[in-house]
């Protein structure tokens, strides 16, 4: 059983379980999804990350106690990943390092697209400090993507990157998974989009 840690607090169980459903559809992995408390806008800057890390560690321990055999930290900034791995005895896969690892293996012109001011650390570590980064206009937190305007802005941002000669876009926000952005991008031939949730599911499929 895969335990999924969502870093955006939400009351709708269908929303909380959505990344688990995506992974089950693609890889056939059963999962339990839980979200941390009191983070209605998720993680979008250093302050929100600092608040989230202790909650992530506590939730990871709770999921292990419930019988999960691996954990998926569903946030592309990989917040508190090293601390979480030290706190549990089961493997932990994180969205950011999974997405960045696949992008690095492709060895093609790549850009990172997210919602923060810069590419998160896992992407800079694996793809280089100077990796091209873009953020959709008007999108500064995950919840912005859940509007028609946010989704349209994300598509426009991706179009601009491909026009600049990028061949691969690695998502550094799992909110793009929620709005199925990769599927919309791949409609046009030759465009590669790495969905962070799907990437993590690939690695998790080898562990669960």
* CA–CA separation, 65 and 43 (whole Å): 25
Q: What's the confidence (pLDDT) of residue 42?
A: 87
Tally of domains within the chain = 2
Report pLDDT for 41: 86
CB 7 within 8 A of CB 35: yes
Give the CA angle between residues 18, 101, 151 to the nearest 5°: 40
Same domain for 79 and 103: no
80 and 111, same structural domain?
no
pLDDT recorded at residue 202: 97
User: Do residue 77 and residue 123 come from a single domain?
Assistant: no
Could you give the C-alpha distances from 193 to 22, 53, 176, in angstroms and in order? 16, 28, 11
Structural domain for 108, as ranges: 96-196
Write the DSSP symbol of residue 8: S
Residues 74 and 101 occupy one common structural domain: no
How much is the pTM?
Answer: 0.92
- 105 and 72 share one domain: no
Task: Note the pLDDT tens digit of each residue in 16-44.
Answer: 999 999 999 999 999 999 999 999 988 88
CATH label of the domain that carries residue 158 = 3.40.50.1860
| 52 and 141 belong to one structural domain | no
Phi, psi of 21 (to 5 degrees): -65, -40
pLDDT at site 43 = 85
| 10-residue mean pLDDT series, the chain (208 residues) | 96 94 96 96 88 98 98 95 98 98 97 94 96 96 91 97 97 93 92 97 93
Residue 34's pLDDT is 98
Residue in the structure block whose two tokens are 């990871």: 60
Rounded to the nearest angstrom, the gap between the alpha carbon of residue 108 and the centroid of all alpha carbons in its chain is 21
| Same domain as 100, residue 188 | yes
């Amino acid at each position: 059983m895969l335990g999924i840690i969502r870093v955006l607090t939400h009351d709708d169980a269908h929303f909380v379980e959505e990344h688990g459903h995506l992974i089950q559809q693609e890889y056939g992995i059963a999962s339990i999804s839980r979200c941390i408390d009191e983070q209605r806008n998720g993680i979008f800057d250093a302050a929100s990350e600092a608040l989230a890390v202790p909650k992530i560690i506590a939730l990871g321990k709770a999921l292990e106690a419930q019988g999960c055999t691996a954990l998926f930290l569903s946030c592309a900034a990989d917040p508190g990943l090293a601390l979480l791995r030290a706190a549990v005895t089961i493997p932990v896969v994180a969205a950011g390092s999974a997405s960045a690892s696949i992008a690095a293996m492709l060895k093609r012109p790549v850009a990172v697209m997210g919602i923060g001011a810069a590419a998160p650390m896992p992407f800079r570590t694996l793809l280089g400090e100077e990796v091209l980064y873009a953020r959709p206009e008007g999108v500064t937190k995950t919840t912005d993507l859940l509007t028609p305007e946010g989704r349209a802005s994300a598509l426009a941002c991706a179009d601009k990157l491909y026009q600049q000669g990028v061949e691969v876009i690695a998502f550094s926000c799992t909110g793009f998974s929620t709005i199925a952005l990769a599927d919309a991008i791949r409609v046009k031939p030759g465009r590669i989009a790495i969905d962070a949730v799907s990437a993590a599911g690939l690695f998790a499929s080898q562990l669960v």
